[in-house]
């Protein structure tokens, strides 16, 4: 009987310790220790609801509940000359993702134009891609290939900042001639 009580007590202590450890895994968006991988993890696992007005007079609203990356990709697929309802959705979705990720984070949704030549990116140099400096590390991560930026959240990192970069590939539901998924490039400094 004493053995059973001891076993149960040890089990409860182990469960309590694991809850405390797992609860401490989430990294604060404002933390200086946060990396692009932390932000990408948040993009792919955290959900949010975007509510936006449909039409202009009758007060009807729609809501979309999805992961942050799904909201970002959906916003990126809204054409720039879309109707007012689609433009409101795009604006609210980008704002929601930006608020969730916090400062010191830049996210670009890009549609690849050609495949990446990863072996050519082994020497450190700086290039300009879309008006932004791209380092050799970003080139290896697949940022510097030719791509069309469909949507962006956050401001670009300062030139003198240490930048952590990761790329999340996400399929798009919009039928296009190219079959490659969209690239969600996450940069944190």
pLDDT value for 170? 87
Position 160 pLDDT exceeds 90: yes
Rounded to a whole number, what is the largest CA-CA distance in the chain?
74
Query: Mean per-residue pLDDT for 46-56?
Result: 90
Half-sphere exposure of 78 (CA within 13 A, CB side): 22
Q: Supply 10's token pair.
A: 């040890």
Looking at the predicted structure, is the pLDDT value of residue 51 above 80? yes
| Token reading at 70 | 């799904």
> 161-189: per-residue pLDDT in tens?
999 999 999 886 655 555 578 999 999 99
Summarize the confidence of residues 66-84 as an average pLDDT: 90
Distance CA 89, CA 50 (A): 8
CA distance 14 to 20: 10
Q: What's the confidence (pLDDT) of residue 27?
A: 54
Structure tokens at 137: 């590390």
Predicted TM-score (pTM) of the model is 0.66
Dist CA 88 CA 48 (whole Å): 16
Say if residue 49 is exposed, middle or buried (CB neighbours under 10 Å; 0-12, 13-18, 19+). exposed
Q: What is the pLDDT of residues 80-97, one digit of tens each?
A: 777 889 999 999 999 999
CA distance 109 to 111: 7
- pLDDT at site 31: 62
DSSP H helices in the chain = 2-23, 36-45, 68-76, 84-101, 136-140
pLDDT of 58 > 50? The answer is yes
In tens, the pLDDT along 95-138 reads 999 999 999 999 999 987 754 444 444 434 444 444 455 555 55
pLDDT of res. 176: 55
- Residue 73 confidence class, pLDDT cut points 50, 70, 90: very high
């Amino acid at each position: 009987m004493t053995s059973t009580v001891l076993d149960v007590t040890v089990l409860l202590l182990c469960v309590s310790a694991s809850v405390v450890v797992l609860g401490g895994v989430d990294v604060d968006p404002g933390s200086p220790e946060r990396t692009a991988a932390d932000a990408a993890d948040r993009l792919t696992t955290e959900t949010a609801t975007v509510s936006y007005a449909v039409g202009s007079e009758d007060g009807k609203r729609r809501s979309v509940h999805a992961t942050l990356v799904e909201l970002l990709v959906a916003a990126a697929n809204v054409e720039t000359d879309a109707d007012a309802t689609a433009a409101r959705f795009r604006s609210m979705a980008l704002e929601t993702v930006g608020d969730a990720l916090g400062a010191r984070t830049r996210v670009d949704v890009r549609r690849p134009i050609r495949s990446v030549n990863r072996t050519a990116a082994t020497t450190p140099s700086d290039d300009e891609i879309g008006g932004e400096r791209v380092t050799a590390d970003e080139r290896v991560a697949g940022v510097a290939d030719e791509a069309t930026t469909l949507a962006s959240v956050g401001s670009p990192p300062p030139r003198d900042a240490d930048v952590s970069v990761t790329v999340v590939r996400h399929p798009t539901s919009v039928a296009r001639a190219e079959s490659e998924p969209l690239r969600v490039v996450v940069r944190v400094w």
